[in-house]
Structure 1
Amino acid sequence: MEPRIKNTTPQPDLTKAVNLLYKTAFSAGVPKVVLELVHLRASQINGCAPCADSGARAMRQAGESDDRLFAVPVWRETPYFTEPERAALNLAEYATRMADNPDPVPDAVWDEAAKHFTEEQLSAIVLWIATTNFFNRINVTTRQQAPQNWG
């Protein structure tokens, strides 16, 4: 499959905006691993190859185990994730699959996340899920590929 747009170099204003989103999400006191997990899970759900690839590589570079990385798609069935991580992953799944549910983000999902994160942290998690979904939709629509720099 060939990319529909080959030059994906962002415009300067877009780069500034993305940097601000990143700074905002990552400065709210949410553990970085939580933000990386929600990014990876949303990207997997959306079929975004470059984001899933970069997300897994970033987590591995940060010292994540293969057990955890390989289990993200089946996080409910494994013992590898903490309760706060599980709450964030569940929130990411619901916030990503909004059209699939009559109640897109049920109170129980939100309430569980709120047990583990402050309001500021929840805002950052939601912002990061939305940012991930934004880039996933651009990459999938334009058929961007994961880089071929294995090794």
Structure 2
Amino acid sequence: MQARMNNPAALLPEAVKGINLLYKAAHSAGLAKSTLELVHLRASQINGCSACVDSGARSMRASGETDERLFAVAAWRETDYFTDAERAALELAEAATRLADRPDPVPDHIWEAAAKHFSESELAALVLWIATTNFFNRINATTRQPAGQN
């Protein structure tokens, strides 16, 4: 696939500053990096962002993630590879990514499941990271950023 243009964030240096602040904020709340990586990969799979799926999987592998868990992210409900907290985060990521799929995009039961496992600041980081991932996915899909180029 040929990119339509260079990544817009790279072309607008002021944007990079804001993106870096979002990244830092989401990663500073004490939430496990593996949880952030899981929701990033799952949202990117849903959105069909090949660049983020590729970079996310590579990052997870570099962080020591097992192949079993890495290969099962898309089918997380059907495996026993994920903790209850990770399952709640993955379900929240799916709901927040697929906002138009139901009248109540993030039903109370999904939010409450996540709230059982994460503190308020961790939930804030999780929501921020899911939104940031969707932001990246939309930029990359719109400009056709190819996998392996990040």
Instruction: Quote the residue 1:44 is aligned against.
Output: 45
| 1:11-47 residue CA offsets vs partner (Å, 9 max, x unmatched) | 2211111111011000001011000000000000000
Following superposition of structure 1 onto structure 2, how do residues 1-151 of structure 1 map, counting pairs within 5 Å? 1-6=1-6, 8=8, 9-147=10-148
Change in 2 beyond 3 A, CA 1:10/1:88: farther
Question: Which residue identity is paired with 1:2?
Answer: Q
| 1:84-126 residue CA offsets vs partner (Å, 9 max, x unmatched) | 0000000000000000111100000000000000111000000
Q: How far apart are 1:148 and its partner, in Å? A: 6.7
Deviation >3 Å, runs of 4+: none
| 1:115-143 residue CA offsets vs partner (Å, 9 max, x unmatched) | 00011100000000000000100110111
CA distance in 1, matches of 2:136, 2:7: 15
Gaps of 5+ in 2: none
Percent of counterpart pairs with the same letter?
68
Q: How many residues align?
A: 149
Change in 2 beyond 3 A, CA 1:7/1:126: closer
- Asked if 1 retains the 8 angstrom alpha-carbon contact of 2:7 and 2:145, the reply is no
What is the RMSD computed on CA atoms of the aligned residues? 1.4
Q: How far apart are 1:4 and its partner, in Å? A: 1.3
CA distance in 1, matches of 2:148, 2:47: 18
Change in 2 beyond 3 A, CA 1:73/1:123: same
Change in 2 beyond 3 A, CA 1:7/1:98: closer
Gaps of 5+ in 1: none
TM-score norm. by structure 2 comes to 0.95
TM-score norm. by structure 1 comes to 0.95
